Amino acid sequence: MEYGTVGDVTVQELEATVAALKQGSPRVRVLACGVIASACRGRRAQHRDAVLRHGGPPFLLSMLEHGDAAQKHAAAAALAAVCKSVDNSLCVHKHRGLLELIRLLQISEGETRASAAEALACLFRNVEGSCGEAYEGGCLGTLSSIVSFESTTEVARTQSLWAMSEMFARLPASRDDYFSRGGADALLNLLREPSNSNTGSPPLLSSASGCLSAMLTHDCPPLTHFLEISNAVSVLIPFIPTKDPALLSAVSRALQSVCASSVRCTRDLVNQNGVDALVQACRKCIPFASVLTALQEGWTRK
């Protein structure tokens, strides 16, 4: 097997790759990170466990701290893949990886920044207390700045939105802070522009919709009122006919959250023919039942 190749990698080959990661030259380390990143994507629990057993996460973190730009880029991609498991996330957190990833998020660009945001999202989801640590460390400000600048690469904005979603769902203070900075308006504007210009990729729009849903995880009357007067439902409805399943699912969940929080938004969905559009989407196996539940809740509280 050549290092850096993409494809099926056995657990034994991956173990040899981790050994090369520790003992090889800088070039070999970069290539080994590529193998780890591709091997640990998707449902590859055994592969991620193998990286952990052989001490991969601490060495990847050392590459982030001491490596050159190429090594930082490769190590960040590998960490984004291996941290999808709880045990690897805990290991990275134990070795102060949260702070290192935040620093990389602040100083890097492009795909390296996207990988750092993706790894952070995994830590937020898998490690209790990590959201609070990151928030105290100023991570929310960095993430929101990345999302706000249109010149930032789309993949970095997408992954940063995902990291923010994970933080909002677990730390109400971060949601309140983002709302006070005009974050809800920024999310609606991000969603509003593509509906008029047919631009914006489904992954970016899915992450923005997911971020909006996460902001409603905890009750926040000012946010609910803002969504009502901003006619958030009318921003989401145009995406229902999309052919992208992930985007449609994310929009469906956002509508569920918005309608569950507000009777007025529920009425807007009905009055703007959103229900008819969702009925058509139901034929594409979208979780329409969740939106129906939100509708029922809204009308019950009418």
pLDDT at 196: 45
Give residue 67's domain range: 7-144
Instruction: Say how far apart CA 52 and CA 83 lie, in whole Å.
Output: 10
Structure confidence at residue 142 (pLDDT): 96
Residue pLDDT, tens place only, 100-111? 999 999 999 999
Residue 131, domain member (yes or no): yes
Q: Are residues 22 and 140 in the same domain?
A: yes
pLDDT recorded at residue 104: 96
pLDDT in tens, 141-156: 999 999 988 778 999 9
Kindly state whether residues 210 and 135 are assigned to the same domain: no
Is residue 102 one of the residues assigned to a domain? yes
Highest mean pLDDT among 87-101, 181-195, 240-254: 87-101
Assess whether 140 and 186 both reside in one domain. no
Same structural domain, 29 and 105: yes
| Structural domain includes residue 167 | no
Q: Which residue has the tokens 């999202």?
A: 121
Mean pLDDT (the chain, rounded): 87
Q: Report angle CA 142, 42, 57 to the nearest 5 degrees.
A: 60
Residue 44: which pLDDT band, with cuts at 50, 70 and 90? Answer: confident
Residue 136 domain-assigned (yes or no): yes
- Are 133 and 51 found together in one domain? yes
Same domain, 135 and 58: yes
Q: How much of the chain exceeds pLDDT 70, in percent?
A: 88
Binned at pLDDT 50, 70 and 90, residue 6 comes out as very low
Q: Concatenate the DSSP letters of all residues of the chain into one string.
A: --TT--S---HHHHHHHHHHHHHS-HHHHHHHHHHHHHHTSSS-HHHHHHHHHTTHHHHHHHHHHHS-HHHHHHHHHHHHHHTTSHHHHHHHHHTTHHHHHHHHHHH--HHHHHHHHHHHHHHHHHSTTHHHHHHHTTHHHHHHHHHH-TTS-HHHHHHHHHHHHHHHHH-HHHHHHHHHTTHHHHHHHHHHHHHHHS-S-HHHHHHHHHHHHHHTSS--HHHHHHHHHTTHHHHHGGGTT-S-HHHHHHHHHHHHHHHHH-HHHHHHHHHTTHHHHHHHHHTTT--HHHHHHHHHHHHHT-
Same-domain pairing of 135 and 240: no
What pLDDT, on the 0 to 100 scale, is given for residue 186? 92
Q: What pLDDT is recorded for position 290? A: 59
By the 8 A CB rule, do 100 and 134 touch?
A: no
Percent of the chain with pLDDT over 90: 64
Residues 209 and 165 sit within 8 Å (Cβ to Cβ):
no
- Asked if residue 221 and residue 112 are part of one domain, the reply reads no
- Residue that the structure tokens 């730390």 belong to: 171
Q: What is the pLDDT of residue 3?
A: 37
- Please tell me the predicted confidence (pLDDT) of residue 167: 97
pLDDT on residue 4? 40
9-18, 39-48, 167-176, range with greatest mean pLDDT: 167-176
Answer whether residue 226 shows pLDDT above 90. Answer: yes
Q: Is 67 left (phi over 0), alpha (psi -120 to 50) or beta?
A: beta
Query: Is residue 13 located within the same domain as residue 137?
Result: yes
User: What's residue 22's pLDDT?
Assistant: 86
- Both 26 and 92 in a single domain? yes
Q: Establish if 279 belongs to a structural domain.
A: yes
Cβ atoms within 10 Å, residue 97: 27
Q: What is the pLDDT of residue 197?
A: 42
Domain count, the chain: 2
User: 263-298: per-residue pLDDT in tens?
Assistant: 899 889 889 888 788 777 766 655 555 556 655 655
The pair of three-digit structure tokens given for residue 86, joined into one six-digit string: 């709880």
d(CA 51, CA 53): 6
Residues 114/84, Cβ–Cβ less than 8 Å: no
Distance (Å) of CA 285 to CA 3, 53, 246, 252, 258: 40, 39, 11, 11, 21
The residue written with tokens 């969603």 in the block is 191
Q: CA-CA distance, 2 to 17, in Å (whole number)?
A: 10
CATH code, domain carrying 212: 1.25.10.10
First to last CA, the chain: 64
Please determine, for residue 30, whether its predicted confidence score (pLDDT) is greater than 70.
Answer: yes
pLDDT in tens, 159-214: 999 999 999 999 999 999 999 999 999 999 999 876 544 446 889 999 999 999 99
Same domain, 61 and 131: yes
One domain, residues 113 and 241: no
Can you read off the two tokens belonging to residue 16?
A: 């040899």
Q: Considering only residues 285 and 227, tell me which one the structure prediction assigns the higher pLDDT.
A: 227
- At position 103, the amino acid (one-letter code) is R
What is the arithmetic mean of pLDDT over 37-54?
A: 89
Count how many Cα atoms sit within 13 Å of the Cα of residue 138 in the half-sphere of its side chain: 6
Q: Which amino acid is at 169?
A: A
Tell me, yes or no, whether 172 lies in a domain: no
- Does 288 reside within a domain? yes
Q: Looking at per-residue confidence, does 4 or 55 come out higher?
A: 55
Give the closest residue to 53 by CA, choosing from 23, 86, 87: 87
- The answer to the question of residue 206 being in a domain is yes
